[in-house]
Structure 1
Amino acid sequence: MKAIILLGTLKEKGRSNTLTLVEFLGTYLKKQGIDYEVIRIAGHHIVPGTYTHMDVKDDWPAIYQKIKDAKIVLFATPLWWNSHSSELQRCIERLDEVYDTILAGEDSPLEGKIGGVIITGDSDGVEQVTGNIANFFCSIGITLPPYCSLGVIWEGHAKGAKKTKSQLSAYYHRNYVKDAQSMAESLAKAAG
């Protein structure tokens, strides 16, 4: 079973809170037999637009093909001003062509895929962003099973907190093992 995780961190490379949470969840995905690939959106050239193929050549068509080839699609994002990241928004906009297909009376090319949400932040917003992404997934044919979100709000995620990867991982292990296990089990069951 294959999962694609679109990582919406604003950082082009290096450590990020959201990537660390993705890696934490990844250990539980692997225990459920789910192989996963993380696509760091900020590290790719993706032009603005609402179609898979734009006039300017970019990396989106190849990323979209990976989404179509996977059984599970996870959006991972930090919270910024009570919303998902601009990097993730660009992906949502480029997936708009899927919705056009549905409006034209055709089946979604993403129908039957299983979705989930991973969120980090230092203040409120997890429920709102999860709801917005869940609504988007449902609108393009992606199914969200129970327990399909992992949201961690912690002051250690604050912009100036400068927590190390080991500090972040230790916090997740102390407080979110059951949540990560439940999410991985639910995704595997729904995708199986």
Structure 2
Amino acid sequence: MKALILLATLKKSGLSNTATLAEFFTERLSRHGVSVETIHLVNENILPGTYSDMGPGDAWPSILARLEAAQIIIFATPIWWGNHSSEIQKVIERLDNLHDEILQGKPSRLEGKVAGVIITGDSDGSQHIIGNISNFCNALGMLLPPYCSLAVQSKEQAKDKHPTKEMLMEIYNKDYSKTADTMVSQLLKYSGS
């Protein structure tokens, strides 16, 4: 069983709330024998566009191949102004070509994949993001099962705060372990494991 996390933090390096929450979740998935790969999207040369291959130097074809090989796909994003990050939007735009194929009568290359959403922020907006991503997954034939979102809103994640990784992990372990474990259980159940 393979899971792919599309990590959409805007930080190229250094401590990221979203990367830390994804790491927290990865550890829980790994306990069940799931092989987890995280793609740090902002560090990839994903060219703008709405096709599966935008030409020389485009990292997207390789990422798409890894999405097709995974059984579980996790969209991990911070909240910016009530919405997902620009990196997740870029993924949605690049996957639009798969939707075009469906409209032409071809089978979806991601049909049957099980999806989940991880969100961090210091204000609300999770429901809107989960709704958008769920709708998008549905249009590509993917399944977002019940209880497959892990959203953490905490004043410690505000833009002007500087928590340590240990502080974030303590918050996640204390307040979000049950939610994360339920999400793992659902992802595995609906992926046939």
**Structure 1 counterpart of 2:62:** 62
Kindly state the Cα deviation for residue 135 of structure 1 after the two structures are TM-superposed.
0.4
State the distance in 2 between where 1:149 and 1:35 align: 19
Equivalent in the alignment of 1:73? 73
Residue number in structure 2 paired with 1:30 = 30
Q: Which whole-Å CA distance do the structure 1 matches of 2:117 and 2:128 have between them? A: 12
| Aligned 8 A contact 1:67 1:73 in 2 | yes
Shift of 1:26: 1.1
Runs of 4+ in structure 1 deviating by more than 3 angstroms, as ranges, are none
Deviation at 1:57, TM superposition (A): 2.7
Distance in structure 1 (CA, Å) of the matches to 2:27 and 2:49: 34
- % same residue: 49
TM-score, normalising length from structure 1? 0.98
User: Distance in 1 between the 2:49 and 2:57 partners?
Assistant: 12
CA distance in 1 between counterparts of 2:13 and 2:92 reads 21
**Bigger mean CA offset, 62-71 vs 24-33:** 24-33
Question: What are structure 1's unaligned runs of at least 5 residues?
Answer: none
How many residues are matched?
192
Native 8 Å contact 1:47 1:56 kept in 2? no
Letter of the 1:139 counterpart: A
Would you say the 8 A contact 1:124–1:153 is kept in 2?
A: yes
TM-score (norm 2): 0.97
Which segments of 5 or more consecutive residues in structure 2 lack a partner in the other structure?
none
2:79 matched to 1:97?
Answer: no
Map of 2:10 onto structure 1: 10
Corresponding residue for residue 87 of structure 1 = 87
